[in-house]
Structure 1
Amino acid sequence: MGSGGKSLWAANATFIVALGFFLAPAQAADLRAPFRAPLVQPPPPVVQQREATRLRVEPSDDGVFASPEEGFPLVRWTNSPTLVVLPDDSAFDVAEALITPDRRALADALDGWVGRAGDVERRKQRKAIAAAYVRRGFQPLWRDGERWRVEAEAVMRRIGEADEDGLDLRAYPSPPLDHASVAKEFELSEAVVAYAAQAAGARIDPQRLSRLIGARPPLPEANAILSAVGAAGARAGDVLQDFNPPHAGYRALRTKLAELRASRMADDDLRFAEARIAAARDDRSPPGGRRHSALPLNRSTGHVEAEIIANMERWRWLPRDLGNTRIEVNIPDFELSVVRDGAVAHRARVIVGKEKTPTPVFSDRMRFIIVNPYWNVPPSILNKEMLPKYGGNLAAIEQSGFQVTYRHGQAFVRQRPGERNALGRIKFMFPNNFSVYLHDTPSRGLFAAARRAFSHGCVRVDQPFRLAEVVLGPGSGWPEERVRRLIGGSERYINLAEPLPIHIEYFTARVDESGRLQLRDDLYGYSARVRAALGLDG
């Protein structure tokens, strides 16, 4: 080495920096390759590409381990003389990174640990964890020699309580709290990453359950998980738990799950009393109407427990920030709520899609309102319903109040604004890939039904002009009466001052304002599919 430079040699050790090929990122999910969005800002790279010093090193008996991530060469032994490129001293001092026995032992064991993964998906996850250690220069996360750090003890306790959040970490047990080792370091890191990934929603790809479920929760990277949790000190367990949904609805179900399990300790087949769980009644049913029936009261605690966990899982599909002011439509409840500052500011009955034409489940932003809307008849309704009804006669359809136009030889049908328009007098627009929206209806008598699944997928709203006033917001200058004065004539547009988050949800178990667990019919069968995917049935 040149004079003045730092020595890169440690006693009786030879090593190189191998600039490896780039390996695939981790896949923490069991059912899909996730799109990963880091939840924390990753640290700067350990190794940066700068002007380099060339160095020849001698062989040793071990094999080369390639870097799992771009830009982060991994220090390893090699079995042949190699010419390598090292960054300058200001970027990274390799000798400093491997000077401790702990770091050297960790680097030496990393390759074999990744190779011992039992399946492809677990191997990918281990590669991502290995990349996190490369970023750290092989510094242990959880150990000081043979002693566990306080972070390790905190996350071990949290992992041991994973089932309180409906998670299943049986395949990733945390190591016992005896003396620490390199192998146990890796076991704990793998369990931490698995916990965070499951908590964020990695176990199920919602779009595999149905193409009408638009949710795709972002999943955290292994490095982001380990960096956040490993630096949290005594709060490491809390930071790990925070990968679960932060929503009040999720936390309420978590509490009910704990209560249910406590009751089952006394009697595994305990039936729920109406005073404890209002599972079969909707107090808001109309006078003379059939009360909204949910799951029978004689369901076993095992079934209700599975249903709670399945609904907790669906909370993981929602954005972490639902919006301080927002619209929520819960399909199994046939109800819309406008939430402002954590309280329900408006509630309305809705009509949702039939079982054969389900309302999609997704989140978006409402942007404008249309008064006196046209109804552009979807091709599916035109071909399957209208043409058979009119004997295939487009002229008859036109005579009944529809407009028929032709483009490139194809007929397009739309209904003029008016009291007979299928969308009623007003619709609420949040442009989306499913082409659904909220709207009025001329068939208002259907709101008296308890099971209100009558639409082709859009959501029909009771008292839509009252909803318009609430959505436009106080101080907007658009009270209900002013919006109503626009009725008649051509389409009129009202833009919202700011886009308003809207979440079309599917919860068959929820906790109401009085703290009671409410269960609802699984209208589209999504809850059964979630239970099956999580292995909760049978």
Structure 2
Amino acid sequence: MMSFASRSLLLAALVAAAPSAAQVPVTPETAAPTPIPLVQPQLPLPTLSDAQRQELARLIAKDEVAQGLSRTPRSDLDRLDNASLARVALDHARAVHGGRLMPSDFQKDWGIRPTAYDPLPGFVDAVARDRLTTWVRSLPPPYQGYDALVEGLARYRKIVAAGGWPMLTVAPAYGSSGPAVGRLRERLAIEDPELTGTGDRFDAALLEGVRRAQRRYGLNPAGQVGAQTLAALNVPVEQRIQSILANLERWRWLPPTLDRRRVQVNIAAAVLTAFDGDRPIMSMRAVTGRPGNETPMLVSQISSIVINPPWNVPSSIATKELWPKERANPGYLKRNGFRVIDTGNGGKRLQQASEQSALGRFKFDFPNDFAVYLHDTPARSGFSKFDRLASHGCVRLEKPEDLAKLLMATTPDWQPEAIDAAVAAGKTVRAKMAEPVSVYLLYWSAFAGADGQVGFREDPYGWDGKLAATVERRSAAQALAAK
């Protein structure tokens, strides 16, 4: 189990570029919430003393706010009898520990599910030993990344309370002066405690502040305030909070512990990071699924690497893209190394030979229900872009050979020399790893860096809005059921 002090997840390598288009405000669902029944424990509920009831009501009212859940007024909690307050506490524990969603709320490509959790034994023990505060504090996910987002949520709520931030309509240039520069400085200072200087001149300090903001938003940190930077700065603070809330909920779906050797992909930022324990040991840019061909969230294990892999073309890609190209330009398939294979039932499928494979020289296999994997690509230009959501759902890697050698470090038969020789030979080989490595495909559109600053990426799949609206609806339903 990771210690609280050393918890870390995706705190490195998340400043790489992400989609550049401005976020579009999402309108929450307005359907009336359907009350959902509170949990009915099978074991007897503990009896709370008067002091414990007051303590528990105070803790729940405070913790709901801190964790980004809908707040139950303290006065409502104080009116509950012993059994009702205990059930509210158990429901709160489940929400903080594993999220608010019901199984039916998960989209298919949200392939991560929270583990089963029964808070009653811990609650009974906390009441018996009079340690309710310790119990409540133990409920959130045990990761520093989650804690940092909780702190970020509090900061952005203070920004709302202070009146939000101004909308910018003019993009001043470095070296210029005037009111527009002063408004830009004022806007940046709201999110950036490192910004120094005053006045209406676009000086070096303001230039660095613009670059820091561009890095936080996944834009090209050139320091020029163009349309994309203005759009990112003008995203309402309420929408930034919605993004934080959605990402806090996703953190609650993760397993209570993460494997020491693991590979993590931030789908929204198109970045891969390899970890050894809490230490990031490799990072690279990736290309993830374009909207409409979303890369799913999932957890699995890489157990083998295919060297010089052929590409067995998914039927959807063949139907939509390759067969039309052949009809429009006969001979296209042969020129690009595709074989037409009879499936035996009157159908045909396509396979691209390893010499010309779109998968490049490395394919990292892991079992999943979405037929996605990590792989090399001969198309290298995509990695220089800041908008790197362009694949059909699989994850293309900037440095696949480096990753292959890292993952094979504990496999005696597949040390770097053997990998190099297999690649040079050109034959397809499946290299089995001595120790499987866990892989996490995650969708982080809001995350906190090592400096505590919250970075944001566009919500390219629209998942933040859907998730935040569902959490809001479920929280409201639970509040109705508690009354």
Q: Tell me, yes or no, whether TM beats 0.5.
A: yes
Q: Which residue of 1 aligns with 2:153?
A: 257
CA distance in 2, matches of 1:485, 1:284: 38
Alignment counterpart, residue 192 of structure 2, candidates 275, 281, 290: 275
Distance across 1 between alignment mates of 2:163 and 2:290: 39
What CA distance in whole angstroms lies between the structure 1 residues aligned with 2:147 and 2:87?
26
| Deviation readout 1:138-178 (Å, 9 max, x if unpaired) | xx4313xxx444xx45433320212101122428976439x
Q: Which amino acid aligns with 1:132?
A: L
1:355 matched to 2:291? The reply is yes
**Could you tell me which of 111, 132, 135 is aligned with 2:43?**
132
Q: Does 1:247 align with 2:138?
A: no
**Pairing 1:185–2:87 present:** no
Indicate the residue corresponding to 1:236 in structure 2: 132
The structure that is helix-richer by fraction is 2
Q: Which amino acid aligns with 1:141?
A: T
C-alpha deviation, 1:526, in angstroms: 0.6
Shift of 1:197: 1.8
**Structure 1 counterpart of 2:426, one-letter code:** G
CA distance in 2, matches of 1:444, 1:289: 26
Deviation at 1:400? Answer: 4.0
Inter-partner Cα distance in structure 2 for 1:265 and 1:432: 44
- Aligned with 2:437 (options 469, 475, 500): 500
Higher relative contact order (CA 8 A, sep 6+): 2
Cα distance between partner residues in 2 of 1:275 and 1:148: 42
1:71-470 aligned at under 5 Å gives the runs 121-122=36-37, 125-126=38-39, 128-129=40-41, 131-133=42-44, 140-143=46-49, 147-149=50-52, 152-161=53-62, 162-170=64-72, 175-176=77-78, 184-205=81-102, 208=105, 210-221=107-118, 223-224=120-121, 226-231=123-128, 233-269=129-165, 271=187, 273=189, 275-276=192-193, 278-281=212-215, 296-391=232-327, 397-398=333-334, 400-406=336-342, 407-418=344-355, 420-470=356-406
Q: By how many angstroms is 1:512 displaced? A: 1.4
- The CA distance in 1 between the partners of 2:338 and 2:271, in whole Å, is 31
CA contact (8 A) 1:201 1:217 kept: yes
User: Are 2:341 and 2:350, in contact at CA under 8 Å, matched by a contact in 1?
Assistant: yes
**Alpha-carbon contact 2:299-2:441 (below 8 Å) kept:** yes
**CA-atom RMSD, angstroms?**
3.3
Query: What letter matches 2:276 in structure 1?
Result: R
Q: Does structure 1 conserve the Cα–Cα contact (< 8 Å) formed by 2:215 and 2:221? A: no
1:403 is displaced (CA, Å) by: 2.1
Going from structure 1 to structure 2, the CA distance change for 1:167 and 1:238 (only over 3 Å counts) comes to farther
1:511 aligned partner: 448
What letter corresponds to residue 48 of structure 2 in structure 1? W
Does residue 428 of structure 2 align to residue 491 of structure 1?
A: yes
- Work out whether residues 437 and 459 of structure 1, in 8 Å CA contact, stay in contact via their aligned partners in 2: yes
Q: Distance in 1 between matches of 2:267 and 2:303?
A: 21
Structure 1: 5+ residue runs without aligned partners? 1-117, 178-182
Which residue identity is paired with 1:121?
I
Query: Residue 242 of structure 2 contacts residue 464 of structure 2 at CA under 8 Å; is this kept in 1?
Result: no
Note the residue ranges of structure 2 that are not aligned, 5 or more in a row: 1-32, 167-186, 195-211, 474-483
TM-score when normalising by structure 2: 0.74
Contact kept? 2:411, 2:433, Cα under 8 Å: no
1:198 counterpart SS class:
helix
Q: Secondary structure at the match of 1:524?
A: coil
Q: Rg bigger for which structure?
A: 1
Q: CA deviation at 1:316?
A: 1.1
In the alignment, the residues of structure 2 paired with residue 298 and residue 261 of structure 1 have an alpha-carbon distance, to the nearest angstrom, of 17
Amino acid at match of 2:148: A
Q: Does structure 1 residue 473 correspond to structure 2 residue 409?
A: yes
Between the two proteins, the alignment pairs up a number of residues equal to 398
Q: 1:450 aligns to what SS in structure 2?
A: coil
Q: Is the 8 A contact 1:279 1:520 kept in 2?
A: no
Letter in structure 2 aligned against 1:528:
G
Q: Is the 8 A contact 2:242 2:465 kept in 1?
A: no
TM-score by length of 1: 0.67
Q: Does the CA contact (< 8 Å) of 2:289 and 2:391 recur in 1?
A: yes
